[in-house]
Amino acid sequence: MQTSKTIAALLGPTLAAGAVSVLLNLRSWPALVEQVSQNPAIVFVSGYPLFVAGLAIVYFHNRWPAAWPAVVTLFGWIAVISGLLRILFPMQLFKYGAGAVQTPGVLPAVAIVFLAVGAFLSYKAYGRE
């Protein structure tokens, strides 16, 4: 349980902060996508830290209990797969991601889900038992 709380203490605030940043800067995303379209290597390079972070989570916390710590493991596997896909298929993911970002409602919806999960993990990590 201590490993779950430690990882949740890192993952929760990180997800929440990233989600809040996306929500505060929604109007800036089309310009960001335009800049990345001129340099898709950013997608490739961003895969490495995501892959390594996911591997670390899965290595230390590959547990699937019928309780909240399974969320930690799930996000570890999501990071591993997402990072690996960014490394292996950066151009294809860029095209797919750019389309998703420009589809109305997708980016805020994903940000709200990440904010909720981040808040939940933060509560579990920092709250009293």
Q: Which domain holds residue 83?
A: 2-126
Nearest alpha-carbon partner for 20 in 97, 108, 103: 108
Residue 129 burial class via C-beta count within 10 angstroms: exposed 0-12, middle 13-18, buried 19 and up: exposed
Question: How high does pLDDT run on average in the chain?
Answer: 89
Q: Residue 97 pLDDT more than 70? A: no
Say how many domains are in the chain: 1
User: What pLDDT, on a 0 to 100 scale, did the predictor assign at position 37?
Assistant: 67
